[in-house]
Amino acid sequence: MQVILWLIGCPLLSDADLASRRDNDGDGHDSLQFGGDDCNDERGDVYPGAPDDWYDGVDADCAGNADYDQDGDGYDATVDDCNDSDAGIHPGAAETDCTDATDYDCDGVTLHADGDLDGVPECIDCDDADAAVGDGLYWYADADGDTYGNPDDVEYACAPTGDRVADDSDCDDARDDVHPGAAEYCGGTDHDCDGEANEDNSVDRVTFYADADADGHGNPDGPILACTAPPGFACNDTDCDDTDEAVNPGAPEWACNTIDDDCDGAEPSVSIRVPADYPEIQDAIAAAAEGDVICVDAGTYEENVEVYRAGITLEGAGPGLSIIDGDARHRAVTINYANGVTLRGFTLTNGAVYGGSGVAVDHGEDTLLEALDVSGNAAGGVSVYDGSATLRHVDIHENTAEGYSGEGTGLWVAASTVDAWRVRIVANEMRVSERCAGVGAYFQSSVITLDQVIVAANRCVATDDGAAAGGVGVHVEGATEVTISQSVLFANEADVGAATSDSSVNWYMEDGSDAVTVLNVVSAGALANDATPCGGWCGSADADWDIEYTDTWGNAGSAYDFTDPTGSDGNIAVDPMFLDTTAADPMDWDYTLAPGSPLIDAGDPSVLDVDCSTSDVGVAGGPNGSW
């Protein structure tokens, strides 16, 4: 090589000189003319990767970019690019979004306007003249129209649509009586949306009164206001002695003591005493005049008493204490053609004449039978014929009758008006070879009112295979109207071998009977074999049946002889869950509803229990449900 260069007259270069010429500025990068990548071999601060400062006119990193177009959008920052850090901003760029305040096309004008300077563009501002109004508000559904909105149903808009409101504080948008500030009512609903129900400020709180003796009647002193009755309180103030459960407005008024038992402020005076004045009851009646009170001391009186004096009161010391024993000869007591008679406070037993062998009211008006135990009679318990009578606190039990056929072993009523309250008709038995009707109670051509009545464990027993039973518990016939409420028909039994048109157990209405009204009653547990096809409400479909809020459950055979009303008018078919019906003696059965019973508060809402809650179904419910 050196030889050739010498031959052509070129100076000889060393390797060092050659390298110096290739990288004249010594920045480690050969010049472009020697195949290198240095775009300016005269400056050592210019080479690929060198730090490059924009806008100094030098392409220090040899990237080839214009030094005045940092964002590479093709527009010079010194000429017409108003933002050289954003390639989307340059002359001619599109502007389409009225909510964007950026001048994309560098013309000094944008689509964005904000007249009230609230930061919300005019094009979406609901009111661009009011800085307090932005691009919309939250609007909440107000389905119940109470002006309070549902927080779970929201829209965002300038104006509400439909029923929407700006408030979101409603806690139940289906009820217009539930919202903040609403009056609080009892019943478990948080009406004012404060997170609490049944508050002390509920406007419908009830006044309750202490009932220390648990007789269902409260002490007028020291009332309290509450939504529900605390234990030991009643919602009336009618008790005149809250230390004695036997003293209250529903109690029998014992004329022969010095106590105002029924809280009426009056105490009858005693006229005659037995045996102090007369050794026998019949002698005292013979000596009595209308309005007299005959007080009979405790003891057993073997007499067949006939009351024929109008307007007298015959009062014993109480059932189990004063006993009139019919001595199996005749009725224990007959009230015969005497109006306004009161018979109270006796056990009537061992009577032996058909038709109320315990006590018979024959052609007597306004008779009061009260606080009586009518039991152990051989031809029926109580009868009322062609008169009117009120039965209160009467137990009619374990009376018997036997023969070809019969009616009304417990209570027999014909052509009369009878009002029975707190009456138990239990375990009466009729033994027949042909037919029994109404072993518990038999009503014919009468007007009957039954309230808090128990008809239970009455039996019809066949002495012949051809015998039948027509309404073992209750049998109604003739032009009779019956109203029964807060009562129980339970475990009445037909032990017979034949079926007839009226074969039934708990209740039977014969053709021609006028009407029966049933409210808050239990019909359950009827016992029968196949010969008795209906166990519940049986008989004529043509009768006027009005059954409401009644439980018909667990009866042998069919529950109804007509269209089943279960599911309507409050009628149900469930286990009543009585507290105890297992005792050997049916008189000891307890029809109080056990905790959790479906009959609690299941009665007619217009009828209230003693604690002012909705009435329970059965004898434990209603305003007199405390026995």
pLDDT in tens, 413-423: 999 999 999 99
Neighbours of 552 (CB within 10 A): 27
Residue 13 confidence (pLDDT): 57
Instruction: Rounding to the nearest 10 degrees, give the CA dihedral for residues 596, 602, 603, 608.
Output: 70
> What burial class does residue 442 get, using C-beta atoms within 10 Å of its C-beta: 0-12 exposed, 13-18 middle, 19+ buried?
buried
pLDDT for residue 206 is more than 70: yes
pTM of the model: 0.73
Residue 222 confidence (pLDDT): 83
Length of the chain: 627
- Mean local confidence (pLDDT), 165-180: 94
Beta bridge partners of 165: 140
Q: Read out DSSP for 215-259?
A: SS---SSS-EEESSPPTTEES----S-TT-TT-STTS---TTSSS
Residue 494 confidence (pLDDT): 87
Which amino acid appears at position 212 of this protein? A
Residue 15 confidence (pLDDT): 65
Contacts 24+ apart (CB under 8 A), 182-186: 182/146, 186/227, 186/228
Residue 497 confidence (pLDDT): 67
% of the chain beyond a pLDDT of 70:
93
**What are the tens digits of pLDDT across the range 81-134?**
788 788 777 887 777 777 777 877 787 666 667 677 777 777 777 777 888 777
d(CA 591, CA 174): 40
Distances (CA, A) of 167 to 8, 127, 179, 366, 518: 102, 20, 11, 67, 50
Among candidates 527, 437, 446, 524, which has minimal Cα distance to 483?
446
Neighbours of 627 (CB within 10 A): 16
Is residue 417 within 8 A of residue 388, CB to CB? The reply is yes
Neighbours of 169 (CB within 10 A): 13
Contacts of 77 (CB under 8 A, 6+ apart): 55, 68, 69, 70, 84
Q: Which residue has the higher pLDDT, 211 or 24?
A: 211
d(CA 626, CA 421): 13
d(CA 501, CA 498): 10
d(CA 485, CA 618): 8
Neighbours of 608 (CB within 10 A): 18
- Mean local confidence (pLDDT), 238-256: 89
Judged by DSSP in three states, 16 sits in helix
Among candidates 451, 454, 486, 410, which has minimal Cα distance to 590?
454
Tokens of residue 335, six digits: 């009230």
